[in-house]
Amino acid sequence: MQRFLLLFFILFSGFFFSQTQLNLIPYPQKVEFKSGNFEINENTLFVGDKKSNEYKYFINKFKKIYPKDLSKNIKKVKPNFISLLLNKDLKIDYKREFNSNYILNISDEMIMVIGKDSEGLFQGIQTLLQLIETSKDGKIPALEIQDSPKFAWRGMHLDVCRHFFTVEEVKQYIDYLAMYKLNTFHWHLTDDQGWRIEIKKYPKLTQIGSKRKESMIGPYVDNTFDGKPYGPYFYTQEQIKEVVKYAKERHVTIVPEIEMPGHALAALAAYPELACTKGPFDVATKWGVFDDVFCPEEETFKFLENVLDEVMALFPSQYIHIGGDECPKTRWKESAFCQDLIKKNNLKDEHGLQSYFIQRIEKYLNSKGRKIIGWDEILEGGLAPNVAVMSWTGIKGGIEAAKSNHFAVMTPGAYCYFDHYQGDPQTEPNAFGGFTPLDKVYSYNPIPEELTKVQSKYILGIQANLWTEYITDFKQVQYMIFPRLFALSEVAWGTSKPENYKEFENRAISHFKILDKMGVNYARSIYNINGKVVPSQNGIAYELSTSQNPEGIHFTVDGSIPTAHSQTYKSAIPVLKSMVIQSAYFENNELKSAVSSQDFITSKTTGKKITLEDQPSENYSFGGAFTLVDGIMGNQKQLGKTWLGFQGKDVVATIDFGEKTQFSEVYFNTLDNKGSWIHLAKSATVYISDDGKNFKAIKEIGKDQILSAKGKIKINVGNQSSKYLKLKIENAGIIPAGNPGADSKAWLFVDEIGAN
């Protein structure tokens, strides 16, 4: 009997596994497997409204998978057919707030996609196409799927201002969204570096604002430019109509963004009279934030109303995005007009003036039957009555909006900024900064724990953003969104299960074949070696992992390039001294991944217990406090995963040596990158203690010493012996006038606190 049971298990375990695992993204809400398969062949027929966009879309996609024309005109349904139907009375077995849903039934003889409406039918078609794409020999398992989305707003953003993309490329982008059931395309059309939409009443916006003298290249701290004119690049109104129609056919809503009151240099270069200082201005060639913004005069509001009239005529979306982010108040503080306006309207300050500005625009858009949405800085000075918030600096903005009964879209940079690195920065193309790998995107829950069930209803959904400072062509766009768009799709649909990430990862890898057929340049970071520093009994150790067989990882510890004959990775590698660990993944003695290299510089603090009085910003918190004692020095040119970032906060770190330890030097690294609001520390103070409670200051250095050290700070403290070491690094505070982001809280980036 035992042998029989064992044989039964061996024979049927593969069957059961295949029947419980579909390579679908996003995974459906409910799947019920049945016996049998539907087989696509030359007799397969099609039933549906042949005039509908959904039917035409399906047939067009199907023919690309099966080039032979299998479609026939029939009057009577015969066995082996695919049917696309609408049923407004469609019922599903679970409750969903949104009506758009579908049922997919597959048996030996037929496939039926039934949508509650045309959008639901289109979603069902996407599921069926994925089943067809990932099937073997055209055999699709019999099953029933009942499905609908969790969130109404499932979005992707594209910045076409820093770098421009053609109409055909934008259409491709929309296709990617539609394939994975994302329904909102946030089109970022205006910014300091370019105005990309034709406004007929103001032709100079594109005559002047759509081009710039040159573009910044390389890491921001290098401050280098290519010397090449960029543009003129913009979309005509006819082209925009074409794209809007294309998106509508794919059930994607386009939400245009017209930036105000900040990020306005391209507009001010064309019409300098709209600024407080009257110019002249140039379209920005650098990335970052600039002091010159729209002045809240009547002339400005009339200009913006006229612009928005033309925008609304092109885009039928309920929401119009008006930006509202990163608006320095320097010019408003200096303007007599602005100061009089603040007094006249009993506003508290310049932040109140920003709220006044947003409310003026909101009233106008509301009068036209539209609503506004803006980045979470529109919370400054109080929210306009009907505005929706796009929460990007973290989740706080979304929480504040929902608690005050305003709708919010969650798009925190820590999880949803696809311009961040997705793999080891040393093996990735240059990116803006941050570290947002696939598993981190997949782990995000758009509903903050702080919200009640009622408040949660104000969370419209989730969106990921692609800013293009360092994305110069569409191949790089593809690279940055895939495969992270897969994770976004499943989170937005409401079926992500972070505890089963590996299962999702396998499905993501299976979809690489679809991307290969489409010629998409996706990131293969998932195959590369991931390194993680962990505490060990003797300090630290370096854990290596890969999505593939870990036995294929080979490494060296002497800085040499690993080969298939180098050491095979079995467990975390002890880091007992300063060293270089290089690793790579091999299959059949062939290199399959990029070579990852990690330098370690150890000191007496390496791997020790460390605590922080204030935690870093969510966007720059990878690894937490331990990042400061992990033996890895932050790369000055990459914000990646080796720095902790604090906005407006001091760094107060306490390190427990575990026993009395002698040292004479304390060091740390900090960044100077004013264009990104990152400033060197104002001062640093070293303290020691033997009990962890009573600390004595032993050395303080000021701004001049920090400045002269250019961010690589070494503090000679004499011969010391203590159990605890505390280091206070003082934030620069409010950014002074004349700097990007003036009047805002400065960022302080710190890495590796050491002692020797």
Give catalytic residue positions: 191, 263, 326
Q: Which pair of structure tokens corresponds to residue 110?
A: 């037929």
Show the DSSP H helices in 318-473 as ranges: 330-334, 336-344, 350-367, 396-403, 413-416, 438-442, 453-456
Q: Is 251 left (phi over 0), alpha (psi -120 to 50) or beta?
A: left
CA distance 355 to 324: 9
| Total length of the chain | 756
Please check whether residue 458 is in contact with residue 408, taking contact to mean a CB–CB distance below 8 angstroms: yes
Query: How, if at all, do strands 319-323 and 371-375 pair?
Result: parallel
- Nearest alpha-carbon partner for 321 in 268, 253, 275, 381: 253
Q: How would you classify the pairing of strands 319-323 and 530-536?
A: unpaired
C-alpha–C-alpha distance, residues 104 and 137, integer Å? 20
Spatial separation of the C-alpha atoms in residues 543 and 571, rounded to whole Å: 7
C-alpha torsion angle, residues 131, 132, 138, 144 (rounded to 10): 40
Alpha carbon separation from 627 to 142, 596, 600, 610, 631 (Å, rounded): 50, 19, 12, 10, 8
Query: Helices 167-179 and 118-133, interaxial angle, to 10°?
Result: 90
User: Is the dihedral angle over the CA atoms 456, 379, 440, 649 positive or is it negative?
Assistant: negative
Q: Cα–Cα distance between 506 and 528 in angstroms, integer?
A: 15
Closest CA to 322 of 286, 359, 295, 297: 359
Beta bridge partners of 748: 646
Q: Which two tokens mark 204?
A: 């100079």
Q: Which two tokens stand for residue 751?
A: 């890495």
From 45, 129, 38, 25, select the one nearest 517 (Cα to Cα): 129
Provide the strand spans (E) within 672-734: 683-689, 696-701, 712-730
- Burial group, residue 316, by CB count within 10 angstroms (0-12, 13-18, 19+): exposed
Assigned token pair, 156: 């992707």
